[in-house]
Structure 1
Amino acid sequence: MICSMTGYAVKTRDLERGTLQLELKSVNSRYLDFHFRVAEDLRSMELPLRELLASRLSRGKVECRLSFNAAVARGEQLTLNDELLAALRGLADQVRTAMPEAAPLSVNEVLRWPGMFGDQEIDFAALGPVVLALAREALDDFTATRAREGEKLAAMIVDRVNAMRAIVRDVAPRIPEAQAVFTDKLRQRLQEALGNASDDRILQEVAVFATRIDVAEELSRLTAHLDEVERVLKAGGASGKRLDFLMQELNREANTLASKSAITEVSQAAMELKLLIEQMREQIQNLE
């Protein structure tokens, strides 16, 4: 399937000592770029999380937030760690002696200090399997949101492809007749300008110019590139870079079409094609 690089998912798990939460969100990026915001007590989980995410994602700037909010059971009596509290007080006094301008620790900071509640301390090392299980659930939802948006983007691209095919089908049959009319006018002007020049000379000049304004090859390549865009979309997977390259090729053919245009029909078709290509390129920038 085709996936967008934009996605979001959040999962929580209620545990005996609190609530574990893992949040994933991503935006566009040329490469796969991770940014982790992990609670200090769970810092050891960053590498396993990185490996898990990398196994499922190919592109995007991905932010992963992992937090644990401790909870107190009903009727549970909290007890401060007196030894740790005394040690903090002594350290705070030393800091203020050396740095009188230093701000004192707030009550909130003291209460959140690791180990401050003594026997209430949580074994975060044992939470590893739980964290990974939660991450897999979040990743499933995350990839599902990216896939849904990718499906919508792919449909929008196919609509533009169909519109481009319609333009090519409409203009291609009219080009030979329009070019014939143009070359007849050119022949008449050359005869008027060159006067006594031989008919062979005039025919030769007209033939050279007719070759220069022939756009059959450009139209054929446009159709081939559009076929490839549809093939890539159907194949799915991480195809954003491939599709972006095809947009460059389509744009190159449209520019050549415009530069070789000697008739209004081709000029107008080239402008419409370039507009549709740019619309597709904007959508493709969001694809993985």
Structure 2
Amino acid sequence: MIRSMTAFARSEADLGSQQAVWELRTVNHRYLEVNPRLPDGYRALETPVRERARGVLQRGKLDATLRLTENGGGGGRLRLDQELARSLADLGREAERELGTTGELSTAEIMKWPGVVVTATLDADEAQRRLREALDSALEGLVEARAREGQALSDALHERLDGVDAGLARIEERLPQVREAFRSRLEERLGELRERVDPDRLEQEVVMQVQRADVDEELDRLATHTAEVRRVLEEGGAVGRRLDFLMQEMNREANTIGSKSPDAAISQTVVDLKVLVEQLREQAQNIE
């Protein structure tokens, strides 16, 4: 399976008084570049971010952003200061005895006392653990997103490879007619020289001219490159650099076919081939 270098993923972590959000975004890059963007006080996470990213990614520019927001004491993140609450209840009963009054403090009244209900907090180690777990979850989502996009890229590449194969088939079908027409034109132009030039020598020149226009080797190499691209896609992994090299070679062969062929129909097919190869190259640049 191939993977795209372009993807996005996010995950959240509950830190008690704060909510943490990891946002991971990758784009194309020749190598792996990791850019952690962390709030003040969380710089210690920079090394874990880089290490975890290198463990699952091989190419692409990764921006790993950590955002923190205050929970505001809601959402079940409050806790009761039991010691203070008991002290208030005991104090209320003592006051009744001393003053001879009645009416104990209600639970609602106790909870309204400052400090009885407080926002839950985490110790530093627990917060770091949750942040790392959320980072791992985001990286897992990022890899899955890159794989999904990679499958779409693979489908697009195969579609264009089919187009290249079809173009090669058209050229090969056209070649016998082109060779015969080329030979006839060449013999016609040289016909007036037959009486003044050695016939064997003339025949050698005709053969040489025909060979110079022959594109069989280029067609074979282009077909070989196309088959290799298919093999590489099937093999999967980090194949982007390999594919980029193959696209350069395919473009080179297409250019040579176009420069050697004297036929307008083949030249037009070569233009179509070059467009397909350029589309292949652009798609391949997105692959890890």
Same fold (TM over 0.5): yes
> Residue 12 of structure 2 aligns to which amino acid in structure 1?
T
Residue in 2 that maps onto 1:184: 184
Indicate conservation of the 8 Å contact 2:8/2:25, yes or no: yes
SS of the aligned residue for 1:286 comes to coil
Aligned residue in 1 for 2:164:
164
Paired residue for 1:106? none
* SS of corresponding position for 2:4: coil
Q: Which residue does 1:53 correspond to in 2?
A: 53
SS at match of 2:267: helix
Matched with 1:86 is none
CA deviation digits over 1:35-93, x for unaligned, max 9?
111112211111011100111001111100113323342597xxxxxxxxxxxxxxxxx
Unmatched tracts of structure 1, length 5 or more: 77-118
Counterparts of 1:264 and 1:177, CA distance in 2? 12
- Cα distance in 2 for residues equivalent to 1:192 and 1:125: 96
The CA deviation string for residues 109-142 of structure 1, in whole angstroms up to 9 with x for no partner, is: xxxxxxxxxx998643442221111111111111
Q: Is the 8 A contact 1:42 1:124 kept in 2?
A: no
Matched residues in 1 for 2:9 and 2:121: separation?
A: 29
> Normalising by structure 1, what TM-score?
0.80
Write the distance in 2 (CA, Å) between the matches of 1:150 and 1:180: 46
The list of structure 1 runs, each at least 4 consecutive aligned residues, that deviate by more than 4 angstroms after superposition, is 119-122
In 2: Cα distance, 1:244 partner to 1:144 partner: 23
Please report how far the alpha carbon of residue 180 of structure 1 lies from its aligned counterpart in structure 2 after TM superposition. 1.6
| 1:266 match | 266
Aligned to 1:215: 215
Displacement of 1:205 after TM fit? 1.0
> Structure 2 counterpart of 1:264, which letter?
A
| CA deviation after TM superposition for structure 1 residue 153, in Å | 1.1
C-alpha separation in 1, matches of 2:262 and 2:199: 23
Deviation at 1:187, TM superposition (A): 1.0
Structure 1 Cα separation of the partners of residues 217 and 199 of structure 2: 29
Distance 1:21 1:186 in 2: 74
Q: Deviations over 1:215-267 (max 9, x none)?
A: 11111111100000000111111111100000001011001111111222321
Q: Does 2:231 align with 1:231?
A: yes
SS in 2 for 1:41: coil
Q: State the secondary structure of the residue aligned to 1:40.
A: coil
Match of 2:115 in 1: none
Please tell me the residue identity of whatever aligns with 2:188: Q
* 1:134 matched to 2:134: yes
- For the residue of structure 1 that corresponds to 2:237, the secondary structure is coil
**Is contact 2:2–2:237 with CA below 8 Å preserved after alignment?**
yes
1:36 alignment counterpart: 36
Residue 250 of structure 1: aligned partner: 250
Shift of 1:284: 1.0
Please, which runs of 5 or more residues in structure 2 have no aligned partner? Answer: 79-118
SS of corresponding position for 2:56: coil
Cα distance between partner residues in 1 of 2:73 and 2:269: 71
Preserved contact between residue 15 and residue 121 of structure 2 (Cα < 8 Å)? no
Quote the residue 1:79 is aligned against.
none
* Equivalent residue letter for 2:184: D
Are the aligned partners of 1:20 and 1:66 in contact in 2 as well (CA < 8 Å)?
A: yes
Query: Match of 1:145?
Result: 145
Structure-2 residue corresponding to 1:196 = 196
- Read off the aligned partner of 2:252 and give its amino acid letter: R
Query: Is contact 1:3–1:146 with CA below 8 Å preserved after alignment?
Result: yes
8 Å CA contact 1:187–1:202 kept in 2: the answer is: no
CA distance in 2: counterparts of 1:192 and 1:44, whole angstroms: 87
C-alpha separation in 1, matches of 2:195 and 2:121? 103
SS where residue 234 of structure 2 aligns? helix
Query: Which residue of structure 2 lines up, in the alignment, with residue 14 of structure 1?
Result: 14
Q: What SS does structure 1 have at the residue aligned with 2:131?
A: helix
Please provide the CA RMSD for this pair.
Answer: 2.1
| Structure (1 or 2) with the larger CA radius of gyration | 2
**TM-score, normalised to structure 2's length?**
0.80
